[in-house]
Amino acid sequence: MTGAAAMSPWLLRKSRGDWKARLGHAEPLTPPAPGRPRVMLHAVSVGEVNALRSLVPILAARCEVVVSVGTDTGIARARTLYGGNGGTGTGLGEGVARVVRYPLDFSRSVARFLDAVKPDLVALVELEVWPNFIRACVERGVPVGVINGRLSERSFRGYRRVRGLLRRTFASLDFAAVQDGDYRDRFVAMGVPVDRCVVTGSMKWDAAPLVRAGEAGEAARALARAMGLDRGGGPLIVAGSTAEDEEALLHAACPPGARLLCAPRKPERFDEAARAMPGCVRRTAGRPGEGGATRFLLDTIGELRSAYEMADVVVMGRSFGRLYGSDPIEPAALGKPVLIGPAFKDFESIVREMQRRGAIVVSSRATLARDLAGLTGDGDERRRLGEAALACVAANRGVSARHAAMILERVGVAASGGEGPAV
């Protein structure tokens, strides 16, 4: 039994509709223009799609780019970013990249898909190593590798149990460009030859546009008016991507005189979060809070960046319980002081780099109230942290350009240089 077969029941449970595409029936693509090889970038979902925001424009200047995605939300995001027509079109030839559905890892599905797309090279974002797909690419002479590679400690434990089944798959990778040395060691342990595995850093540093701290944009000002956040009051703490129990924790730890806005990661938790902050102003209520309101709930999707723009302090959710943290780069790129809890395994290399540069506060359930009081009461420290966070993001940018150079070299195209803009 292959790794793909073992995962098939999970795939079937997670799949929802679009079966024709999931079974490999992609619309056949016409051959690319001479001298413009076709590079396929595979991103499993929204996070990986967003990580490509700087890489896609760089490659599109020299190649034809196809972005394949596995989830419905990821497809929608990719079409918005890359497919043209404000995300409402098919993505086929309308924007900087073609957007297609990645197939289930069955041999026939993969064969149909590759017959239609005909990539000259495939780059898998983070860790989308499917045995049948990689085997089919190798048989067709299509180089396939990993970019922005990431293999967490807990994922590695699971992969290691089936290492015998997957070693040949990992050994078939033409290259693995990974985020840090620990990930490199794990990729090599899974079978990637040492000379094909390099540390390039995280493309997430490139994905968030750098914005000097200052006046919020129009979308943020509109959100503030809608919720009544523009009526003065104390410092605003914005907690992004909060998880179970964190709203209650933050509600209790919020210093007197400060205001708290929580944005749960999962929509199904919105009501639970509202109960944890009695009397909170809900975004979906459609009316601003009364004067003096101190608790706010962002129970919508797509407005978190606007909330971060208004924040005096940002708290990263999913980091005070049994989960593995949230990405602090977006608020850091806005020049905001950022606080995170002790559970940040999914973003360890990023948090450690920010710690090294004095650009983040790592707190705990026991010290959260004290740490928030210290930050909300010290404007100079907030400014220092925000400036350090912005400088940290700026210093780590350029990973997308390094990935682009690696890809272009393998398809025989000279790189044109430049980091390229974030979309």
pLDDT tens sequence across 343-360: 999 899 899 999 999 999
- The mean pLDDT value for 385-406 works out to 96
The pLDDT of residue 20: 79
**97: which DSSP letter?**
S
**Identity of the highest mean pLDDT range in 103-117, 198-212, 283-297:** 103-117
| pLDDT tens profile 128-183 | 899 999 999 999 999 999 999 999 888 888 888 888 889 999 999 999 999 999 99
Tell me which of 72 and 363 has the higher pLDDT: 363
Residue 279: closest CA among 294, 260, 265, 264: 294
**268: which DSSP letter?**
G
The pLDDT of residue 292: 85
| pLDDT tens profile 201-241 | 999 999 888 887 666 789 999 999 999 998 778 999 999 99
Percent of the chain with pLDDT over 90: 71
**143: which DSSP letter?**
-
CA distance 369 to 297: 20
The pLDDT of residue 415: 63
Reading the block at residue 294, the tokens are 């101190």
φ/ψ of 316, rounded to 5, equals -90, 120
Mean pLDDT of the chain: 89
Check if the beta carbon of residue 323 is closer than 8 Å to that of residue 343: yes
CA distance 329 to 338: 9
Residue 312: closest CA among 382, 365, 242, 246: 382
Tell me which of 342 and 24 has the higher pLDDT: 342
CA distance 246 to 250: 6
The pLDDT of residue 134: 96
- The mean pLDDT value for 103-132 works out to 94
**Identity of the highest mean pLDDT range in 3-17, 91-105, 240-254:** 240-254
Range in 6-10, 113-117, 394-398, 408-412 with the lowest mean pLDDT: 6-10
Torsion-angle region of 103 (φ positive above 0: left; ψ -120 to 50: alpha; else: beta)? beta
Domains of the chain with bracketed CATH: 3-207+397-410 (3.40.50.11720), 218-395 (3.40.50.2000)
b/e map 94-120, b = 16+ CB within 10 Å? bbbbbbbbbbbbbeebbbbbbeebbbb
In this predicted structure, the answer to whether residue 244 has a pLDDT above a threshold of 50 is: yes
CA distance 78 to 52: 9
- The mean pLDDT value for 241-252 works out to 97
The residues that bridge with 197 in the sheet, in sequence order, are: 176
The pLDDT of residue 83: 77
Query: Quick one: pLDDT band at residue 416, thresholds 50, 70, 90?
Result: low
Helices marked H in 191-293: 204-207, 218-227, 246-253, 270-276
In this predicted structure, the answer to whether residue 417 has a pLDDT above a threshold of 80 is: no
pTM for this prediction: 0.82
The pLDDT of residue 410: 95
The pLDDT of residue 215: 66
φ/ψ of 38, rounded to 5, equals -100, 120
DSSP 365-419: TTTHHHHHHHHHT-HHHHHHHHHHHHHHHHHT--HHHHHHHHHHHHTT-------
| pLDDT tens profile 315-352 | 999 999 999 999 999 999 999 999 999 999 989 989 99
φ/ψ of 96, rounded to 5, equals -75, -15
